[in-house]
Amino acid sequence: MPIPFPFSAVVAQEEMKRSLLIAAIDPSIGGVLVFGDRGTGKSTAIRGLAALLPKMRAVDCTYQCDPEASDDALCEDCRAKRAAGRTLKSRQVPVPVVDLPLGATEDRVIGALDLERALTKGEKAFEPGLLARAHRGFLYIDEVNLLEDHLVDSLLDVAASGQNLVEREGLSVRHPARFVLVGSGNPEEGELRPQLQDRFGLSVEVKTPQDLPTRMKVVRLRDAFERDPNAFVEKWKRQDGKVRRQIQKARELLPNVEVPDATLERAGELCMKLGTDGLRGELTLIRAARGLAALQGDTEVLDSHLKEVATSALRHRLRRDPLDESGSTSRVERAVAELFGE
């Protein structure tokens, strides 16, 4: 398995790094969509974050269930064990990060009949797919805008319910599949279906650095990593450890972070000003601001937190305005400046 580039060594993509950290702290935000130029560190940052995430406690079952979860969040085997009064034995395991390749079949993604057992033993058994492997972790889709429509439909169903229902070849299986969806891509290669785009909590635009010192720093770091990956990772081990501890503390603090009515009112005013459809934008904005507050060690969500995450939470939820030629990022930034008096 290749050594991932350290997350803390990724340069000049602060919005992307912040959004990924917030999603790691509060998975209910709904994932991160990263669009931008090729070669700007999109997949590098995602794989780097996965490598430094704190380990999680999981039951030794196919779906790595949470031993503290309620019955409806467990797989059938774990529910049956708990109902029989048996202890769900667990262990510390790395957070799963699963790649969903563009060429994957629907059977590979959602699961299907285990043909080997069917042919050799005559048993009908379920072979879990990539969605099962990603439960409680991250599902990463590179070039997400090129994903085939039938796979998008499957992802939408699971992302909405947190459950994967498979009914085929005489099988009927339902299993938990809650994961943080992370997609990356280049918008020049095709647009993302609006239904899937809306499922991403945060949207980030990454661009090639335009100042010479930053470009030189990126090239030097990448070159040093490729010449001696082990030495480079060791050099950045302390910084990555600091980020890991920051994530752990933020997760512990998150349930105690308060959202005052004044902040909630500001969030509503901003979404109304931008004309976002539905209330998902406001919910995501508040959750992202709360995640950022926890990341920064604050116990109350302030206007400063809202301003910092507003663009990421709302830029992909705006209707196209034929009378306004400015991009969605500029529209959000302008609305934030007007509302907060900057």
**Residues belonging to the active site:** 280
Q: Residue 282 corresponds to which tokens in the numbers above? A: 């406001």
DSSP type of residue 4: P
State how far Cα 10 lies from the chain centre. 18
Alpha-carbon gap, residue 195 to 182, rounded angstroms: 15
Q: Residue 30 corresponds to which tokens in the numbers above? A: 């709904």
Helix (H, G, I), strand (E, B) or coil at 67: coil
DSSP type of residue 99: E
Alpha-carbon gap, residue 236 to 324, rounded angstroms: 45
What are the residues facing 113 on neighbouring strands?
Answer: 126
How is 304-340 classified by DSSP, letter by letter?
A: HHHHHHHHHHHGGGPPP-TT--S-HHHHHHHHHHHHT
**How many CB atoms neighbour CB 256 within 10 A?**
9
Alpha-carbon gap, residue 34 to 299, rounded angstroms: 28
In this structure, the dihedral spanned by the alpha carbons of residues 217, 313, 134 and 81, taken in order and rounded to 10 degrees, is 140
